[in-house]
């Protein structure tokens, strides 16, 4: 840039200053303060009404977790995923991951030394502005489709995959190419065509992205609820304890023996193992929380306790084990005071019919699933879902008998402390749960549920309910 | 009385020249697009203040990071508000700084005599994104843990020096307590220090050259 141009630019700036009546204080500052105030209010609103949703605690052993960066990196992630689909070149990851971003950032940094023309007016800078426009539109569209899978993982044509490759990779790529070709071949006459290229490319990108969103298979927005308050964590821990620990340690951790019946050479052999009750001061006062977590995660292989932590081949994440330990502390340790715990299920009103989702599911989780899940000795009767409860098991047709004979349901008989006997008087199903007795209100829920034809959702149950209309004030 | 105090202070601090040099400057006709820079500065200050409050309770260790954040969210008075503002402030800051960058690009305000202002500005943008990247790991939750695993892996794909960079970022082959400690240190000392210094330079450059005007056909 020669001295003349510099002088011209400085003179123009002087004229702009003289033509303006604005001063930094108070004109600019006034606007700045208003914007700052607006942002401040926006932040307070977001913190209050949206809040922060944390995922569970980091668990290095849970490698199945789908990583998801901050939203402003999503476009880069999506670009990487799409780029990986390109044959041959796509395999060289660092081209897309390092080289391209470094080039983009390099150009951005060195911009004043690359775009050396002294012109600032928009009409004289069609090429850079068009490039930037396509770049920003592609950033936005890539962010928009970032959680749509790039491949379906199956054979055959995946429409959304093709559409997003066109909209996210091919159109912007062609757009950039066209812009540069025009700028260098048509020179002065390129202005109009370049503007049209940018506009059409942007419209196409948005259209293909929209089509991608429409054709993509339904997205599961399964947001896990993480228990955060103490009572919620205790309940979550108790549910987990009921599934994974009750069998050996008993309802309240007081079990001192484990009976294990095995059939060896046609003869039933029962072995009894003595264990330490885990609800005593001996255990609770001497083991810290982290030591308890370790015991649950690693198990005690020499004493027959399997590892439960994901890292050691079990099923539980660190967060889940933490919840269990919280439950054990508050339930049994006399140094901790149990906070008020929400009830397992809302108590039934007069004439109300219980439903699976509100009443039965939490009961099953607390008292039954421990044994009635895959891989346990349970006559193949699984109870982890509504359908399983009704249809599985060797005695499926007798387990639950809706209607008049509901009292004959095996399930209702066994939970009322009566074993099922065959014609020779041999026990085929023992009392349920084997080591504890269900409270009367729980049994009552089961009776009403089966009597009324096992409604699944709360709405179905409400339709069957016969709640007397409250005409008088109680 | 006040006049005397003012005069005494003015003699030593020079309020008048400060006022003339910093505040009472003429400016070209501006509009609301000119507020993006100061909005970024405001967000930086907000992040700084809320961040300082958060360090009072936050513990940068894998055993306690998550729980200390839960404690801030559930038990500390207004902890949820401070954390919420810090969380959303980071997103907003990246957004506002980026829009500021695009605005300067579109009006070509990076041209003579403001080339270095742009250079420093790009540095500020990268540091802001770096703050976002390092801060994301600190709550030590699943999403952050695995996103950072992948993010650092990408750095590791650089030919020749990738492995070194990966080890330097993670403090070992895997994400560990060291990684968290490094990210924490970068997030609360190194990056904000650089940011603050560069912001100072950026502001000096703006005062030196004045705000650029919106271009017309003459430019």
- Which residue carries 């990108």 as its tokens? A205
Same domain? For A200 and A260 the reply is: no
Residue at A135 is within a domain: yes
Pick from B24, B154, B213: CB nearest A16 = B213
Chain A residues within an 8 Å CB radius of B119: 109, 112
* pLDDT given for residue A243 in this prediction: 83
Show which of residues 2-31 on chain A sit within 8 Å of chain B, judged by CB atoms. Answer: 5-6, 9-10, 12-13, 16-20, 22-25, 27-29, 31
* pLDDT given for residue A258 in this prediction: 78
* A326 neighbors A237 (Cβ within 8 angstroms): yes
Same domain? For A158 and A271 the reply is: no
* pLDDT given for residue A457 in this prediction: 83
Same domain? For A33 and A73 the reply is: no
Q: Do A108 and B122 touch (CB under 8 A)?
A: yes
Residue A382 C-alpha from the chain's centroid:
25
* pLDDT given for residue A474 in this prediction: 46
Segment B34-42 mean pLDDT? 95
Same domain? For A181 and A312 the reply is: no
Q: Do A98 and B216 touch (CB under 8 A)?
A: no
Can you tell me the ipTM of this complex?
0.92
Q: Nearest 5 degrees, angle CA A386-CA A389-CA A393? A: 145
Distance CA B123, CA B211 (A): 19
Residue at B46 is within a domain: yes
Q: Is the model's pLDDT at B143 over the cut of 60? A: yes
The upper half-sphere exposure of residue A142, i.e. CA atoms within 13 Å in the direction of its Cβ, equals: 26
Residue at A397 is within a domain: yes
Residue at B22 is within a domain: no
Q: Do B91 and A13 touch (CB under 8 A)?
A: no
Distance CA B32, CA A32 (A): 8
CB count within 10 Å of CB B141 equals 24
Same domain? For A198 and A236 the reply is: no
Residues spanned by the domain of A364: 356-464
Segment B185-212 mean pLDDT? 94
Same domain? For A78 and A170 the reply is: yes
The answer to whether B20 contacts chain A (CB < 8 Å) is no
Distance CA A199, CA A192 (A): 11
* pLDDT given for residue A469 in this prediction: 52
pLDDT band at B72 (very low <50, low <70, confident <90, very high): very high
| Interface mutation target, options B48, B102, B111, chain A, most CBs of A under 10 Å | B111
Which stretches does DSSP call E strand in A158-223? none
Q: Do A27 and B27 touch (CB under 8 A)?
A: yes
Chain A residues within an 8 Å CB radius of B106: 122, 129, 132
In chain A, the number of structural domains is 4
- Digit-coded pLDDT (tens) for A127-171: 999 999 999 999 999 999 888 888 776 767 788 888 888 888 899
Same domain? For A373 and A454 the reply is: yes
Residues spanned by the domain of B199: 34-209
Same domain? For A292 and A149 the reply is: no
Residues in contact with B196: Cβ distance below 8 Å, sequence separation at least 6, in sequence order: none
Lowest mean pLDDT among A153-162, A165-174, B3-12, B141-150: A153-162
* pLDDT given for residue B37 in this prediction: 94
Residue at B11 is within a domain: no
pLDDT band at B112 (very low <50, low <70, confident <90, very high): confident
Q: Which of A34, A53, A72 is the last residue of a domain?
A: A53
Same domain? For A66 and A211 the reply is: yes
Same domain? For A162 and A292 the reply is: no
Same domain? For A40 and A62 the reply is: no
In chain B, the number of structural domains is 1
Please provide the average confidence, as pLDDT, over all residues in chain B.
Answer: 92
CATH number at residue B144: 1.20.810.10
Q: Which tokens in the block code for residue A103?
A: 């080039």
CATH number at residue A281: 1.10.760.10
Element (H, E) at A421: strand A420-421
Residue at A13 is within a domain: no
Chain B residues within an 8 Å CB radius of A40: 42, 46
Same domain? For A183 and A153 the reply is: yes
Regarding pTM above 0.80, the answer is no
* B142 neighbors A60 (Cβ within 8 angstroms): no
Q: Chunked in runs of 10, what are the mean pLDDT values of chain A (474 residues)? A: 88 88 87 95 94 84 79 89 80 82 93 90 91 94 87 75 87 92 84 91 93 76 68 87 84 80 72 83 88 89 84 84 90 87 80 84 81 77 83 79 78 82 77 78 84 83 69 48
Q: Is A21 exposed, middle or buried (0-12, 13-18, 19+ CB in 10 A)?
A: exposed
Q: Do B34 and A42 touch (CB under 8 A)?
A: no
């Amino acid at each position: 840039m020669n001295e003349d141009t510099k002088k011209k630019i400085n003179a123009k700036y002087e004229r702009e200053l003289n033509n303006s009546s604005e001063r930094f204080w108070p004109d600019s500052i006034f606007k700045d303060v208003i914007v700052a105030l607006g942002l401040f209010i926006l932040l307070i609103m977001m913190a209050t009404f949206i809040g922060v949703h944390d995922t569970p605690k980091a668990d290095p052993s849970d490698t199945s977790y789908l990583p998801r960066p901050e939203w402003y990196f999503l476009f880069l992630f999506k670009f990487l995923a799409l780029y990986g689909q390109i044959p041959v070149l796509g395999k060289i990851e660092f081209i897309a991951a390092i080289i391209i971003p470094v080039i983009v950032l390099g150009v951005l940094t060195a911009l004043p030394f690359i775009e050396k023309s002294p012109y600032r007016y928009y009409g004289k800078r069609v090429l850079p502005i068009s490039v930037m426009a396509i770049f920003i539109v592609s950033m936005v569209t890539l962010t928009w489709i970032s959680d749509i899978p790039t491949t379906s993982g199956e054979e055959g044509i995946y429409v959304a995959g093709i559409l997003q490759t066109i909209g996210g990779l091919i159109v912007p790529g062609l757009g950039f190419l066209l812009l540069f070709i025009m700028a260098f071949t048509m020179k002065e006459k390129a202005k109009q065509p370049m503007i049209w290229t940018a506009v059409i490319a942007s419209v196409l990108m948005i259209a293909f992205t929209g089509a991608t969103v429409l054709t993509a298979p339904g997205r599961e927005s399964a947001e896990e609820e993480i228990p955060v308050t103490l009572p919620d964590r205790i309940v979550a821990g108790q549910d987990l304890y009921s599934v994974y620990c009750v069998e050996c340690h008993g309802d309240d951790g007081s079990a001192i023996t484990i009976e294990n019946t095995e059939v060896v050479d046609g003869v039933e052999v029962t072995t009894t193992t003595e264990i330490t009750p885990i609800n005593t001061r001996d255990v609770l006062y001497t083991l810290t929380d982290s030591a308890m977590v370790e015991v649950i995660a690693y198990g005690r292989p020499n004493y027959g306790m399997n590892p439960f932590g994901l890292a050691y081949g079990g099923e539980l994440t660190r967060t889940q084990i933490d919840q269990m330990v919280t439950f054990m502390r508050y339930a049994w340790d006399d140094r901790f005071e149990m906070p008020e715990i929400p009830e397992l299920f809302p108590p039934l009103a007069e004439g109300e019919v219980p439903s699976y989702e509100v009443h039965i599911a939490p009961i099953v989780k607390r008292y039954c699933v421990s044994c009635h899940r895959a891989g346990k000795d349970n006559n193949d009767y699984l109870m982890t879902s509504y359908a399983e409860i009704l249809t599985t098991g060797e005695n499926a047709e007798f387990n639950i008998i809706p209607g008049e004979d509901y009292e004959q349901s095996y399930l209702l008989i066994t939970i009322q402390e009566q074993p099922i006997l065959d014609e020779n008087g041999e026990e085929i199903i023992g009392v349920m749960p084997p080591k504890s007795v269900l409270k009367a209100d729980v049994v009552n829920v089961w009776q009403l549920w089966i009597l009324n034809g096992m409604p699944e959702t709360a709405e179905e149950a409400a339709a069957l309910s016969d709640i007397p209309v409250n005409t008088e004030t109680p | 009385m006040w006049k005397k105090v003012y005069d005494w202070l003015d003699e030593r601090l020079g309020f008048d020249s400060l006022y003339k040099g910093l505040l009472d400057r003429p400016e070209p006709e501006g509009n609301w697009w000119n507020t993006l820079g100061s909005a970024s500065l405001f967000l930086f200050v907000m992040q700084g203040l809320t961040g300082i409050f958060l360090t009072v309770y936050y513990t940068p260790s894998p055993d306690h990071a998550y729980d200390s954040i839960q404690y801030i969210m559930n038990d500390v008075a207004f902890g949820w508000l401070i954390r919420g503002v810090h969380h959303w402030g980071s997103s907003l800051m990246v957004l506002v700084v980026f829009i500021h960058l695009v605005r300067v690009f579109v009006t070509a305000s990076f041209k003579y005599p403001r080339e270095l202002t742009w250079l420093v500005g790009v540095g500020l943008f990268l540091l802001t994104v770096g703050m976002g990247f390092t801060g994301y790991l600190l709550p030590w939750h699943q999403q952050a843990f695995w996103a950072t695993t992948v993010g650092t892996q990408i750095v590791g794909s650089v030919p020749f020096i990738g492995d070194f960079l990966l080890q330097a970022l993670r403090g070992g082959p895997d994400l560990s307590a060291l990684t968290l400690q490094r990210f924490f240190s970068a997030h609360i000392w190194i990056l904000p220090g650089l940011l603050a210094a560069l912001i100072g330079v950026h502001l000096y450059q703006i005062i030196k050259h004045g705000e650029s005007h919106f271009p017309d056909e003459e430019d």
